[in-house]
């Protein structure tokens, strides 16, 4: 499939070969188009990987209301693989793989550690990084982009506002250098990854300008919503808390309202990607949700 895509774009790019292309989706799609009464009919598999652990010495930064001041605690950090008959999608890229084999690193309020890189985790289910066709991140914070350099031959599905944000300053350009050479599909609003409504990236901006969540319509388990960092903990969902490190609080609150409406409509299982309780209820590889 990859070679076919490459061939098509090589044709259109003529002399530039297939080293890099951009595919811009101009069609605007409402979320209802994808999420109405869709019942999963594609035999998808959803794998959950441990992409690091984060200890937080003070959760004050996680609530603009000021009610988390002085609280410490832990966050899990997760990446996901969705296997579809037409291809594989990696969702979020975890903490930097350079952390593997080193002592936990302290950076401000965060102490971060990583046991295994995605290459090893994929190998456990007999996959190589080179087998993965598509990659997308919920947003561009360091704990979701850390292993981008492992995916040099993947098509990056990116919301146009996040793309702009990631390359808006010299500092952010340097941070995101691993994304520079990737083939890209750039979309606005929502993006139906395989064109059949089974896996849909939904814009839920505010935490960052192009923050997204992922809807996966599983055949047996039903619809699953992966939150990105719309919420960091079960408590922040329950209390509707917005972090201080957030691009636009009113936009985030709007996304929370849209998300909750959708979750209710779908009767979806919500997975808060940093919440240990949610993650502990998911199968560990080689197990998967189907």
Helix (H, G, I), strand (E, B) or coil at 8: helix
Compute the distance between CA of residue 266 and CA of residue 194 in angstroms, rounded to an integer.
Answer: 20
Q: How many residues bind Zn ion (CB under 5 A)?
A: 2
Q: Is the Cβ–Cβ distance between 64 and 249 less than 8 Å?
A: yes
Q: Per CB under 5 A, does 92 bind Zn ion?
A: no
- Applying CB under 5 A, the span of 83-91, 159-167, 176-184, 226-234 interacting with Zn ion comes to 226-234
Least separation in angstroms between residue 264's CB and Zn ion is 24
Compose the 27-46 pattern: x for residues touching Zn ion by CB under 5 A, - for all others.
--------------------
Interface with Zn ion, residue 143, by CB under 5 A: yes
Alpha-carbon distance of 214 to 271, in angstroms, equals 10
Structure tokens at 208: 């960052």
Which region, judged by CB under 5 A, interacts with Zn ion, from 6-14, 33-41, 92-100, 142-150?
A: 142-150
Peptide bond into 286 cis (omega under 30): yes
**Least distance between Zn ion and beta carbon 134 (Å):** 21
Distance, CA of 96 to CA of 69 (rounded, Å): 28
Taking the C-alpha atoms of residue 121 and residue 144, their distance in angstroms, rounded to an integer, is 16
Among the residue ranges 32-40, 178-186, 206-214, 225-233, the one whose residues contact Zn ion (CB under 5 A):
225-233
Handedness of CA 230, 202, 184, 288 (dihedral sign): positive
Residues 133, 162, 192, 229: which binds Zn ion (CB under 5 A)?
229
**Helix count and strand count (H, E) for the chain:** 9, 14
Segment near Zn ion (CB under 5 A); pick from 82-90, 141-149, 257-265, 277-285: 141-149
Are the CB atoms for 158 and 184 separated by under 8 Å?
yes
- Least distance between Zn ion and beta carbon 142 (Å): 8
CB of residue 9 to Zn ion, shortest distance in Å: 32
CB of 136 to Zn ion, least distance (A): 15
Q: Write out the residues near Zn ion by the rule CB under 5 A.
A: 143, 229
């Amino acid at each position: 499939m990859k070679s076919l895509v490459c061939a098509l774009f090589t044709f259109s790019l003529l002399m530039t070969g297939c080293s890099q292309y951009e595919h811009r989706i101009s069609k605007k799609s409402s979320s209802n188009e994808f999420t109405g009464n869709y019942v999963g009919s594609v035999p998808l598999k959803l794998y959950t990987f441990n992409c690091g652990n984060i200890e937080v010495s003070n959760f004050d930064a996680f609530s603009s209301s000021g009610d988390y001041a002085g609280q410490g605690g832990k966050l899990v950090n997760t990446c996901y693989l969705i296997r579809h008959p037409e291809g594989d999608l990696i969702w979020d890229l975890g903490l930097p793989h350079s952390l593997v084999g080193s002592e936990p690193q302290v950076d401000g309020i965060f102490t971060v550690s990583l046991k295994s890189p995605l290459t090893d985790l994929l190998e456990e289910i007999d996959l190589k990084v080179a087998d993965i066709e598509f990659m997308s991140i919920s947003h561009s914070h360091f704990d979701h982009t850390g292993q981008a350099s492992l995916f040099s031959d993947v098509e990056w599905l990116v919301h146009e506002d996040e793309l702009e944000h990631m390359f808006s300053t010299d500092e952010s350009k340097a941070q995101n250098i691993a994304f520079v050479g990737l083939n890209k599909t750039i979309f606005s609003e929502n993006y139906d990854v395989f064109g059949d409504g089974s896996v849909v990236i939904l814009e839920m901006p505010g935490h960052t300008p192009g923050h997204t969540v992922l809807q996966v319509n599983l055949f047996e388990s039903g619809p699953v919503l992966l939150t990105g960092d719309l919420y960091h903990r079960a408590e922040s969902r329950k209390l509707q808390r917005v972090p201080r490190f957030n691009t636009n609080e009113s936009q985030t609150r709007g996304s929370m309202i849209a998300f909750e409406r959708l979750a209710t409509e779908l009767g979806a299982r919500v997975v808060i990607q940093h919440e240990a309780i949610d993650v502990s209820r998911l199968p560990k590889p080689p197990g998967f949700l189907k």
